Structure 1
Amino acid sequence: MSLYLQLAFLSILEIILLLSSPFSYAKLFTRPEDVPSRTYDFIIVGAGTAGSVLASRLSEDPHKSVLVIEAGVSDSSVSTIQIPFLASSLRQTSVDWNYTTVPQSGLNGRSLTVPRGFVTGGSSSINSMAWTRGSSDLWNSYAKITNDVGWSWDSIQSYWKKISTLVPPTSNDAITPDQIPLSNSNGPVLVNLPNYDIPPRQQVFDAANTAQDPRFRFTRDVNSGDSLGFGYNQASAGHGFRSSSATAYLNPALATRSNLDLLINTRVTRLVNDPVIQTKPVFKQVELAQSPHGDHLLFKATDEVILSAGTFGSAQILLLSGIGPKDELEKVIVDSPDVGKNLKDHPVVQIYFTVNSTDTLDSIFRNSTLTAQLLAEWQQNKTGILSDTPINVFGLLQLPDTFFTSVDSNPASGPKSPNLEMIFNAFSATPTAPAPSAGNFLSVVIALVSPTSAGSIKLVPNSTDTFTAPLIDFQVLATDFDMSAMVQAINDTEKFLSAPSWTRDGYLIGPFGEFANATTADARLQYIRNNADTIHHPVGTLKMGRNSPAQRLGGEGVVDPRLNVRGIQGVRVVDASILPAIPECHTQAVVYIVAERAADMIKQAFGMLGH
């Protein structure tokens, strides 16, 4: 959704939506001086997707004290977060870190904005809520990379069932939960299938069910272990609300447990090592502040500091603490060459078509009266289109066999894993320009989910704290494979859209806008360079590697399979930064699984109750 549409939605929301008062927590603090203790058993840096899970699970043991430090605000103070359809309106607002990349040479020198949640729940509070966990190939590849069977597909099943619960739809025309096997789960995150039959669901499924190309097949459940096919979007929402790690894990724990404290509006600026010389440096103190020039205070963990500040934040904190590549740091305590490296995201481009149908969502973005009615319906009943995400259906598929020079040249993690994703939107989702004032549209979001390009994050020269954003460089489309794969992805999309279900009754009229002129491979590559972005799934800057007897640094990853930072003591990392390879799926469910397993590993390490 464009910035223009976001502002229009928010203006109407302010007028019509009676915002509920923020829920107040007895254990929520807005100033470090008010926190009752400077020492806790565990200090969790970041109340995002993983940090909120850890806060809930570790505080299950009443004998352990837990402090969570969050840079942003409480999710309960931002009512817009609750409304699934308005997810994109949260970007470039006060609940977004508002990161920007360095200019990307593969995108004709353009810089990209990178939304990340600056709020409890982290990006699970502002994302598009897609709920995918990847294929069995993906998890088995993690087990192979780390030499730890605990990361295998079979081993993570118990955590998958522990995370979420499938809930009934809010409308009568939706599909029923018994159509996918996720209903076996019984966890705190609510997950639902599409509440409404939003076009072009029928066109997509008719094309998949009649396709001659087996890559275009229908799948009942993209989370079955075989990710390939076109299926229903599963989303982390239920009963008309977004379901985030804050609403599912953190907030209920805060409301009921005296051993859990939350400090918001506060940034951890670095970790501080113990001056007592030991075999390996011990980092159990965190320095924190609420402004660059304000007081910098120290808090101490007696057991562990857990970094859950995200792919950018966790790596930046380690670098500021003197842990990273020695040739990049002014002061080095531990030379760890891989810190900040291996940054990956899914490159994405959108293409647009006009359609011969008034049954699209374009009118919502043009008709303020209709928008007001939809907001009022959501406020009163938590039903209507706004109770749903705009994404109804999507597809995951591999590139054609003829694309690869050899069997081993496919970077996907296995035969059940995709290279590409197609997301179908029944409106013109131009990211930076106003929506067209007339007409009806189909936009297809095309992502390369097995990219080979890798980038990095580095400190801005002379920066000393996390109030200065790091230098983020995805190196988007830096390899020949990624460029060719994105062009092929457009070709595959057009092939899928040539099925009779799209041409029947003249439904699909033709390409729209700049894309209409991209008719050759060279023109399509230029279109991609001019318009591509990332889909906002950054991972890998503190990648996990296998155990080695000496825990040597370099080549074995930044953290070991139990997520301990190599070369130091007292610090564990639990977030998307530890993933050694980018998931060929949307990443939030993967991070939930990582966090649940991490909680068990921590409980085991410290002999805690509930293990």
Structure 2
Amino acid sequence: MGRNPMENPLHYATPQLRVGPPVTYAAAQRTLNGYDYVIVGAGAAGCVLASKLSEDKNTSVLLLEAGGNNQNVLASKVPLMFGELFHSEYDWDYNTVEQPALASRKLYWPRGRILGGSTSLNAMMYHHCAKSDYDEWVSVHGCQGWGYDDLVPYFRRMEKFTPNPSRPTIEAANRGAEGKWSTGYSWLSEIGEKGFLPACEEVGIPAIPDVNTNQGTLGVTRFQTFIDRKGERSSMATAFLTPEVRQRPNLYIGCHAHVTRVLFDCLTTDVPTTIGVEFQSSKDPTRQNFQVHAKREVILSGGAVNTPQLLLLSGVGPADELTPLGVPIVHNSRAVGKNLKDHLCPTPIICKANPSYTLDYLKSPLKSLPALLRWKLFGSGPLTNNVGEVAAFLRTVDFNFPESSSPPADFTSGSVGPDIELIAAPLSFIHHGEEPAADGEGTFSIVPTHLRPRSTGTISLKSRNPHDHPIINPKYLSDESDNDKKVILAGLRVCLRIIRSASFQKYFEPVPINDDPASKWWPYSSSNIEKISDENLIRFMKEKAFTLYHPIGTARMGPDPSRSVVDLQCKVYGVKGLRVMDASVFPEQISGHPTAPIGAMAFKLSQMIKEGDTSGTPFSAHL
């Protein structure tokens, strides 16, 4: 019973209510039964850590997840159905505060609240990102041991790649074949294959068969995905928390366990020492507090929003922010919740296409039934499409736009590092896909994404109540140099060239000029693209921009405790027995999709822990 995900996680808790002052616990508390490692958050990092650490049968691991089990959630299994999880019980359903640069709009941030975290909820983009991204972590941010060459072995060890004879040949040496995480190529539309790919080449973006090598990601490609041979999502939960792993007697998984704070002993040790966590069952309306104790370490893997929120609730953060809220200070860490960066999509470019070439009809429950039956019987067909089926990565400084007065500066991570990604999808992708195409119409979306923002934001507490969503303020387009806006404008103009290309136009219908930002159609005709001013593009961006929800950096890794939250072993500065592993530790934004990097980093950290890089003397030695 204790080996499987439980609807009621109290089975795993020390059976007592909270006792003692908020942050001072007697050493005797640690004599209670506990686990060697308590991992908070079963997302990309938490699933990998729990799986790898529990390989040692003498090590006990408890994995706590605020959401539910992933195993019977159809919308998580069927690749193209992931949008149905948005705003559901499986989504934290976050929103930013109003963004002044985007017409004072609040932007929606979906985040996975389910085993697998956002890997059970997002588009299944398998991407290592650019080699120079990680080398920049080392050369600029001092994160020795986390360069590209350090992580490549873990990318390979995680992956089980399935070649596709109808796709370009991929060098086997660049792919993993024996790992747990299934990757490969999903269903691809004709528009993506014969429209977008050659159109990009026409405007000077070369084709690249494999973006996951040390050669970099520049070029246009058929995107590799984490969809398995059965046509199902291969999340970090399905890959690393398999039925066999869940049956390990030393691994315990608690679902519906909302961790409310980390517990510290501040009396019997010179440095605040982590002894466990406190949580509430989301199935219990009384919200009683229960404790779980860790013999060696607590590892926070809640993501770039939940991890800093939990640190702040636990008294690790800026004292001047926590004291007014009445949070007792455990360690005054100025960087917690700071350095937030995200990938902003200025506006989707929606092109009117022949409906027979698009997948908009799948939004209809009735019209989608044949495709669903095909998926159930054969694990194939359009429902195995990843939405983001093809993409182009480019450096905006490589393009010249005489019609623009704002050329961008180069803030990429290096000569092979892009600053814009153009994601193409054979359906309407407005407001995260929530706004469907008009009945009977077909659409093709190009979603430009700004990969290397200079603007930085914050995560902060709204109150001491752990159930209040934190204040998310990414401060989009707030960089003093205004370069974020310049890069975005250049990326939009590349899109305008693509939709005018011969390969692209044969699939699409010109739409009359429309200067209304509320219109879903772009002001497109073959004769006026160069006449669209920067001001008009900015108007559309303010009304239509959304996020690709890749937040990072809020518990940043680095060698300087005054500027970072964790050291190079991901140990939290100023306390003992506490680590962080998720996208919050990224020292700088990467130029692509973060799922694979998070998994590889968690794999590497598990190996470091196994090899004896623990937080110090076991707690029992202090008793």
- TM class by shorter chain equals 0.7 to 0.9
Q: Which residue does 1:475 correspond to in 2?
A: 475
The aligned amino acid for 1:516 is W
Q: What's 1:90 paired with?
A: 85
Q: For residue 596 of structure 1, report the CA deviation from its aligned partner.
A: 0.7
Q: Who is 1:347 aligned against?
A: 344
Tell me if 1:50 matches 2:66: no
Q: Which amino acid is 1:474 matched to?
A: P
Q: Does 1:234 align with 2:234?
A: no
Q: Is the 1:139–1:151 contact (alpha carbons within 8 Å) kept by the matching residues of 2?
A: yes
Q: How many residues align?
A: 569
Partner of 1:264: 255
The superposition leaves residues 544-577 of structure 1 with CA deviations (integer Å, 9 ceiling, x where unpaired) of 012x5xxxx322x100111000111100000000
Question: Could you say what secondary structure the match of 2:367 adopts?
Answer: helix
Q: Distance in 2 between matches of 1:305 and 1:148?
A: 22
Report the 3-state secondary structure (helix = DSSP H, G, I; strand = E; otherwise coil) of the residue aligned with 2:56.
coil
* SS of match in other structure, 1:199: helix
Relative distance call for 1:310 and 1:567 in structure 2 (3 A) is same
Letter of the 2:610 partner, please give it. Answer: K
Q: Taking structure 1 as reference, are residues 357 and 195 closer, same or farther at Cα in structure 2, changes over 3 Å only?
A: closer
How far apart are residue 253 of structure 1 and its match? 5.0
Alignment of 1:75-114 (within 5 A): 75-114=70-109
**Aligned equivalent of 1:30:** 7
- Whether the aligned pair in 1 keeps the contact of 2:4 and 2:247 (CA below 8 Å) is no
Distance 1:25 1:188 in 2: 24
Question: Displacement of 1:387 after TM fit?
Answer: 2.2
177-186 or 98-107, which deviates more? 177-186
Alignment of 1:285 with 2:276, yes or no, is: yes
Q: What CA distance in whole angstroms lies between the structure 1 residues aligned with 2:206 and 2:374? A: 36
Structure 1: which amino acid aligns with 2:572? V
The answer on whether the counterparts of 1:70 and 1:267 sit within 8 Å (CA) in structure 2 is yes
Matched residue type, 2:211 = V
Superposition TM-score, scaled by structure 2 size:
0.86
Distance 1:560 1:299 in 2: 25
Q: Indicate the SS of the match to 1:138.
A: helix
**Could you say what secondary structure the match of 2:372 adopts?**
helix
**Matched position secondary structure for 1:124:** helix
Match of 1:598 in 2: 605
* Cα deviation digits, residues 305-341 of structure 1 (max 9, x gap): 0000111111011101111011100222211000000
Secondary structure at the counterpart of residue 292 of structure 2: strand
Alignment of 1:124-163 (within 5 A): 124-163=119-158
After TM superposition, give the deviation of residue 406 of structure 1 in Å: 13
Aligned-pair CA distance for 1:470: 0.6
CA change 1:160–1:439 in 2 (3 A) is same
1:207 equivalent among 158, 179, 199: 199
> 1 CA distance for matches of 2:362 and 2:520?
24
Unaligned runs of 5+ in 2: 15-32, 525-531, 616-623
Q: Matched residues in 2 for 1:419 and 1:460: separation?
A: 33
Instruction: Specify the code of the residue in structure 2 equivalent to 1:389.
Output: N
Partner Cα distance (1:478, 1:506) in 2: 38
Corresponding residue for residue 424 of structure 1: 424
Bigger mean CA offset, 258-267 vs 201-210: 201-210
Question: Structure 1's 25 and 369: CA in aligned 2 closer, same or farther, altered over 3 A?
Answer: farther
Taking a change above 3 Å as real, the CA distance of residues 36 and 97 of structure 1, as seen in their structure-2 partners, is: closer
1:320 alignment partner in structure 2: 313
Tell me the alpha carbon deviations over residues 104-147 of structure 1, each in whole angstroms, 9 at most, x when there is no partner: 11111111111000000000000001011111101111122453
Cα shift readout 1:228-272 (whole Å, capped 9, x = no counterpart): 100011111112000011000023454331100011101110111
Shift of 1:200: 2.5
Aligned with residue 382 of structure 1, among 379, 384, 400: 379
What's the offset of the Cα at 1:167? 1.8
1: distance between equivalents of 2:8 and 2:426? Answer: 45
Is 1:516 aligned to residue 511 of structure 2?
no
Opposite residue 470 of structure 2, the aligned amino acid is P
Aligned with 2:510: secondary structure?
A: strand
Tell me the distance in 2 between the aligned counterparts of 1:578 and 1:164.
Answer: 23
Q: CA deviation at 1:158?
A: 0.8
Deviations along 1:556-607, one digit per CA (max 9) or x if unpaired, are x100111000111100000000001111101101101111111111112258
**What secondary structure sits across from 1:273 in the alignment?**
strand
Distance across 2 between alignment mates of 1:206 and 1:342:
38
Distance 1:224 1:33, change over 3 A: closer
Which one-letter code corresponds to 1:69 in the other structure?
L
Task: Please name the residue that 2:209 is paired with.
Answer: 220
SS in 2 for 1:376: helix
Residue 391 of structure 2 corresponds to which residue in structure 1? 394
Equivalent residues of 1:399, 1:420 under 8 A apart: yes
Instruction: State the alpha-carbon separation in 2 of the partners of residues 450 and 40 from structure 1.
Output: 40
Shift of 1:441: 2.0
Partner of residue 360 from structure 2, selected from 362, 379, 385: 362
Single out whichever of 65-74 and 396-405 deviates more from structure 2: 396-405
Letter in 1 for 2:180: P
1:569/1:229 Cα in 2 relative to 1: closer, same or farther (>3 Å)?
same
2:265 counterpart SS class: coil
The Cα shift of 1:278 comes to 2.7
| Displacement of 1:356 | 5.0
For residues 405 and 602 of structure 1, the distance between their equivalents in structure 2, rounded to whole angstroms, comes to 52
- Could you tell me which of 334, 350, 355 is aligned with 1:337? 334
Please give the secondary structure, in 1, of the residue aligned with 2:459: strand
1:90 aligned partner, one-letter code:
L
Distance 1:103 1:458 in 2: 15
Query: For residues 472 and 52 of structure 1, do their structure 2 counterparts lie closer, same or farther at Cα, with a shift above 3 Å needed?
Result: same
One-letter amino acid matched to 2:139: K
Distance 1:408 1:414, change over 3 A: farther
The two structures have a TM-score, normalised by structure 1, of 0.88
Q: Is the 1:70–1:265 Cα contact (8 Å) retained in structure 2?
A: yes
Write the distance in 1 (CA, Å) between the matches of 2:588 and 2:372: 40
Q: 2:562 aligns with which of 554, 559, 562?
A: 554
User: 1:229 is matched by which residue type in structure 2?
Assistant: G
Change (3 A) 1:297 1:516: closer
- CA shift, 1:477, in A, is 1.7
Rounded to whole Å, the distance in 2 between the matches of 1:538 and 1:148 is: 19
Per-residue deviation, 1:486 = 1.6
Aligned match of 1:527: 540
Letter in 2 for 1:566: Y
Q: Tell me the distance in 2 between the aligned counterparts of 1:493 and 1:85.
A: 24
Distance 1:93 1:198, change over 3 A: farther
Cα separation, 2, equivalents of 1:358 and 1:606: 57
| Conserved 8 A contact 1:96-1:118 | yes
C-alpha deviations, 1:391-433, integer Å up to 9, x for none? 2211010112468999994221111111101111222222243
Please report how far the alpha carbon of residue 179 of structure 1 lies from its aligned counterpart in structure 2 after TM superposition: 6.4
CA contact (8 A) 1:42 1:67 kept: yes
Q: Secondary structure at the match of 2:253?
A: strand
Q: Distance in 2 between matches of 1:406 and 1:370?
A: 46
Q: 1:223 to 1:155 in 2, by over 3 A?
A: same
Shift of 1:379: 1.2
Q: Name which of 306, 312, 326 aligns with 2:299.
A: 306
After superposition, the C-alpha distances for 1:175-226 in whole angstroms (9 at most, x for unaligned) are: 2664675444421110111334442321222234444x3xx11111111131
Q: CA deviation at 1:478?
A: 1.6
Asked if 2 retains the 8 angstrom alpha-carbon contact of 1:425 and 1:444, the reply is yes
CA distance in 2, matches of 1:161, 1:100: 35
* 1:79-117 Cα deviation digits (max 9, x unpaired): 221101112221111110111111111111111111000
Could you tell which deviates more after superposition, 408-417 or 27-36? 27-36
- Partner SS for 1:509: coil
2:29 is matched with none
Deviations 1:356-402 (A, max 9, x none): 57322233335x44311111111122111112312221101011246
Distance 1:86 1:446 in 2: 22
